Amino acid sequence: ASVSKESEAFDALLPLPGLFMLRVWQISGVELAAIPAEELSDVLALKQHLRVRKGLPVCLQELLHDGIRLQDSNKLGAPMDVQLVLLSLAKGLEAAQELREAATKGEIEVVRLLLRASTDKDSTN
């Protein structure tokens, strides 16, 4: 009987699934997303999540934590708050590739954001 009570007490100390949330905030202070931390492994996974759920091009996303720019390979801790900055200028082959993919899939909002950010629409690479 005592083993069962000890086990129950231990289980009560464990974090509940979904308790540790990763929160993404816009510069305006509005919460953009709250995601269970266990769903994401690193910053790139978070950017891809925001691409799918919010239509935000990966190449335009810059994520900050405590004022420090996060690299795509940075691991995410939980609970954690990050701030999303949408870049106004897209450069490089990655942006052009993302534009082609979005256009092919008919993702109009993503295409609009990328064109507004001066993505090279004529790139063939």
Q: Say yes or no: 36 and 61 in one domain.
A: yes
Going from the C-alpha of 40 to that of each of 24, 34, 66, 68, the distances in angstroms are 13, 12, 19, 19
Q: Say yes or no: 74 and 93 in one domain.
A: no
Neighbours of 23 (CB within 10 A): 16
Phi/psi for 6 (5° steps) reads -65, -40
Question: Is the Cβ–Cβ distance between 80 and 39 less than 8 Å?
Answer: no
Confidence (pLDDT) at 29: 94
Q: Say yes or no: 21 and 70 in one domain.
A: yes
The residues, ordered by sequence, that sit 6+ positions from 32 with a Cβ below 8 Å of its Cβ are 24, 25, 26, 50, 54, 84
In a domain, 75, yes or no: yes
Q: Say yes or no: 69 and 37 in one domain.
A: yes
Q: Which domain does 116 fall in, by range?
A: 89-125
Q: Say yes or no: 81 and 113 in one domain.
A: no
Phi/psi for 55 (5° steps) reads 70, 30
Q: How many domains does the chain have?
A: 2
> Which regions of the chain are under pLDDT 70?
1-19, 119-125
Q: Say yes or no: 76 and 94 in one domain.
A: no
Q: Say yes or no: 56 and 114 in one domain.
A: no
What's the angle, vertex CA 65, arms to CA 60 and CA 67, rounded to 5? 90
Q: Say yes or no: 48 and 100 in one domain.
A: no
Q: Say yes or no: 125 and 74 in one domain.
A: no
